[in-house]
Structure 1
Amino acid sequence: MCEAAENDLYAVLGASPSDTIQQLRHRYQQLVLQYHPDRLGGVCPSEAESSVRTFLEVDAAWRILSDQDSRRQYDQQRRARELKQDWPVDSTVFLEDMNWDQDECVYTYCCRCGGGFSVSEEEVEQETHRRQWDDTEEETKEGQHRGVVICCDTCSLSVYVTWPLHTKTQSLKCQE
């Protein structure tokens, strides 16, 4: 569980910790159909290698999260890592689940208190660029995710906003 625990296994499956085993299984099955090596006919070698890597990550995440005991242990370790941070993280939010505000050039997400979380397109691009720069000595994996912790504008809650490194943001450049 050591290497797989470094990544957020829920993010690997595109799921959340509150998902049921049926929801996790459904997500796993979708990803397996997409990345399984037997379904890669005719793609270039680098795409095939990337797909196989993603398939292996998805499979490793499913093996841990599909078993009740290993999932409980993983959730405890995950929670312990969150508690060691300087701020409490309420949940993980995927960038694609946030609303895009074209006028302000920000992604927004509503907080349960009625306030909101927001992250600018510029912050997303800077963090993605920083991560890619940090990984120049290592090969950047297609399936890697990056994220930032953002605080609610009203209460003390914060969320971890995550996205794949190779995701394109909403607009090419916001007009000033």
Structure 2
Amino acid sequence: MAFERINQKDWYKILGAKPSDSPAELKRKYQKLALLDALHCIARDILYHPDKQEADVAAGEAEERVQRFIEIDQAWKILGNEQTKKEYDLQQREDNLTKEWPLHEQIYLEDMCWNEDEQLYTLSCRCGGNYSVSKSETKDVSLVCCDTCSLVIEILQ
């Protein structure tokens, strides 16, 4: 499943979870938010499940609850599946790298030099070092660090 990067939501935040949470913990947090035990709901929480809505809830509030439930459900669909969670986590790490490290420039893969002997695409950095990425990595990696300094390039396909 490919995720849209524009306006991507923080699915962990929606579930009140962390990337290090186990699958069982993620499921428990999802169930708590989506289903909420009736006594717990009466005590202090809003019940988000659309089938459990109170009759006297204002239309706007009911719509907000439905939208919140949809977000919770989408978060679970992404984080509850091992493959989509892995893909999402990789994108989150990549996004964090872009924020934390200076992005030197964006380069198209075809603008990099192919080294047949080493089976690597390379590009010289302004510091004198190199950006290097293997052909197999180009499918999974779009950010590459210089081997000498802290600059990063983004490889565009």
TM-score grouping bracket, smaller chain normalisation:
0.5 to 0.7
Cα distance in 1 for partners of 2:6, 2:67 equals 12
Residues 23-62 of structure 1 aligned to structure 2 (within 5 Å): 23-33=25-35, 34-42=47-55, 43-62=57-76
Residues 1-176 of structure 1 aligned to structure 2 (within 5 Å): 1-2=3-4, 6-33=8-35, 34-42=47-55, 43-86=57-100
In terms of Rg, which structure is larger? 2
Cα distance in 1 for partners of 2:53, 2:95 equals 37
CA drift of 1:41 comes to 2.0
CA drift of 1:86 comes to 3.3
* Runs of 4+ with deviation above 3 angstroms: none
CA drift of 1:4 comes to 9.2
What 5-or-longer segments of structure 2 have no aligned partner? Answer: 36-46, 102-157
Partner residue of 1:129? Answer: none
Render the CA deviation track for 1:81-123: whole Å, top value 9, x for unaligned. 0000136xxxxxxxxxxxxxxxxxxxxxxxxxxxxxxxxxxxx
What 5-or-longer segments of structure 1 have no aligned partner? Answer: 88-176
Do the aligned residues in 2 keep the contact of 1:4 with 1:60 (CA within 8 Å)?
no
TM-score (norm 1): 0.47
Higher relative contact order (CA 8 A, sep 6+): 1
Do the aligned residues in 2 keep the contact of 1:15 with 1:27 (CA within 8 Å)?
yes
Cα distance in 2 for partners of 1:58, 1:2 equals 17
Cα distance in 2 for partners of 1:3, 1:55 equals 21
TM-score (norm 2): 0.52
Partner residue of 1:100? Answer: none
User: RMSD of the TM alignment (CA)?
Assistant: 2.1
State the percentage of identical aligned residues.
40
Cα distance in 2 for partners of 1:4, 1:55 equals 21
